[in-house]
Structure 1
Amino acid sequence: MLEDNMNTPRSRGNGRPALTRPDGTPVRVLVVDDDPDLAEVLSGALRYEGWEVRTAGDGASAVAEARELLPDAVVLDVMLPDTDGFHVLRDLHTVKPDVCVLFLTARDAVEDRIAGITAGGDDYVTKPFSLEEVVARLRGLLRRAGMARQQDEGPRLVVGDLVMDEEAREVTRGGELIELSPTEFELLRFLMRNPRRVLSKAQILDRVWSYDFGGRAHVVELYISYLRKKVDAGREPMIHTVRGAGYVIKPVAGR
């Protein structure tokens, strides 16, 4: 199931640097879902990345395909006709212990998320999802695992010890990974693209939410507070309020 407003995947020719295996060969991905239409759409999005993709509609065929393909990553639906994704994951790890696994789940319960991670999954997305999100999550997993490298590395935004990789959609501070929601990521990106510059609430609303300013200042305040809890928690603050003017991000003094 895809979001109604899903983004069409961008091809490498439209500016996204290619991600390959360390030896330069295409990344190998196995898509496991019993919905053939969804599997086809997902496979198409991943092939736009230049990756080698195979599909499977149940657990048994997934393990058989994995033995032949030896995938770098697997997009794995939790609910399959012959078993569940957690059992399939255990079998996949016997075939390729270091495979990256992104679970697809229609269930958003915390217990299901914990079960997936406990079983050895690396990440998950909840249906409905966008193709761009799946691609971005896979790129991030593969790079963090050292199983892929990016050709012509895209630009990174750096403010002090805060680093944003825009292509992998990864943010670290002092080398520690910071998990952000899509909106938090866009807000932080706007701040980091304008370091030491005070940005008004109106500017932020226009850039991040495409809103007119009228009456929505609380949205900016709310998301700034979310960012502070993740970026500045337990550290010297980088995100500052300039009373009556807006917000600014700047490196900690001496860094």
Structure 2
Amino acid sequence: MQKKILIVDDEPSISLLIEFHLKLAGFEVRCVSDGEAVFDMLQPFRPDLIVLDLMLDKMDGMQVCRKLRGQNNAVPVIMLTALQDVSDKIAGLDNGADDYMTKPFSPHELISRIQAIFRRLKTLPSSTEDTSFIIGGLQVQVAQRQVYLDDKPIELTPKEFELLLFLCQHKGKVLSRQQLLHGVWDYHFLGDTRIVDVHISHLRDKLEKNARTPQYIKTVRNVGYKMYNSIINETSMA
């Protein structure tokens, strides 16, 4: 079955270019030109992924992402923008985007990023795999994509959840920033490891009582991060 891609861009030349190459790659494609139209297309089209421009009329890309995630809609989003600053990239990811590309970009690179996201989704545990990770007072319920700290629910963005899950799946192992980039985003951010540091910082804000002495996510100087092996037990609830 063809994967469905929704393109959201107010520049017709950009939309037509992306649409042409995505259709050649075998995707079913629809295009809209403003942020509000995204929500009109969710039910009739049911996209598997959204290619979303940042600068849009009526509702910009950041607002679209926040609204989608606020509705618990986990459809993958690749955000497009002419802004080059790394802080803009981080802001896009923090607002729920799965990936971020700056204009101008290669359509073939966009297709590679789309395929990487679909590959990553295939490797995530299915809804039938009722597994949890118990880490001290932290519980990560994989199939339900829910996290509890001391029995209280913790709200994570989709990418924060996937980063936490990846750390749990490699409990006790020191993971470099590049390993985390590749394992969680499924490609390399051209050496921009600050993306990992920012997401780790946000996870700690939500999970750690004291960021200076973290209980769950340990920094290994000059290497990367790991989950504390001594307090992790994986429990299968078959």
Residue of 33, 36, 42 corresponding to 1:66: 42
Q: Which residue of 1 aligns with 2:25?
A: 49
Q: Is the 8 A contact 2:116 2:187 kept in 1?
A: no
Residue of 82, 87, 91 corresponding to 1:111: 87
Work out the CA distance in 2 between the residues paired with 1:77 and 1:65.
16
> Residue 119 and residue 180 in structure 1: after superposition, are their counterparts in 2 closer, same or farther (change >3 A)?
closer
Deviation at residue 70 of structure 1 after TM alignment: 1.3
Does residue 32 in structure 1 map to residue 19 in structure 2? no
Work out the CA distance in 2 between the residues paired with 1:107 and 1:91.
22
Q: Which residue of 2 aligns with 1:213?
A: none
> Residue 43 and residue 107 in structure 1: after superposition, are their counterparts in 2 closer, same or farther (change >3 A)?
same
Q: State which structure, 1 or 2, has the greater radius of gyration over its C-alpha atoms.
A: 1
Does residue 89 in structure 1 map to residue 98 in structure 2? no
Secondary structure (helix, strand or coil) at the match of 1:43 reads helix
Residue of 113, 120, 132 corresponding to 2:108: 132
Work out the CA distance in 2 between the residues paired with 1:65 and 1:133.
25
> Residue 65 and residue 178 in structure 1: after superposition, are their counterparts in 2 closer, same or farther (change >3 A)?
closer
Q: Is the 8 A contact 1:58 1:81 kept in 2?
A: yes
Work out the CA distance in 2 between the residues paired with 1:82 and 1:73.
21
Normalised by the size of structure 1, how large is the TM-score? 0.49
For 1:4-43, list aligned pairs within 5 A.
25-43=1-19
> Residue 180 and residue 85 in structure 1: after superposition, are their counterparts in 2 closer, same or farther (change >3 A)?
closer
RMSD of equivalent CA atoms: 2.8
Work out the CA distance in 1 between the residues paired with 2:77 and 2:90.
14
Number of aligned residue pairs: 138
Work out the CA distance in 2 between the residues paired with 1:180 and 1:52.
27
Deviation at residue 67 of structure 1 after TM alignment: 2.5
Q: Which residue of 2 aligns with 1:181?
A: 190
Runs of 4+ in 1 over 6 A off after TM superposition: none
Deviation at residue 121 of structure 1 after TM alignment: 0.5
> Cα deviations across residues 118-151 of structure 1 (Å, max 9, x unaligned)?
1011111100111111110111011102299xxx
Normalised by the size of structure 2, how large is the TM-score? 0.52
Secondary structure (helix, strand or coil) at the match of 1:50 reads coil
Deviation at residue 83 of structure 1 after TM alignment: 2.1
Q: Is the 8 A contact 1:102 1:121 kept in 2?
A: yes
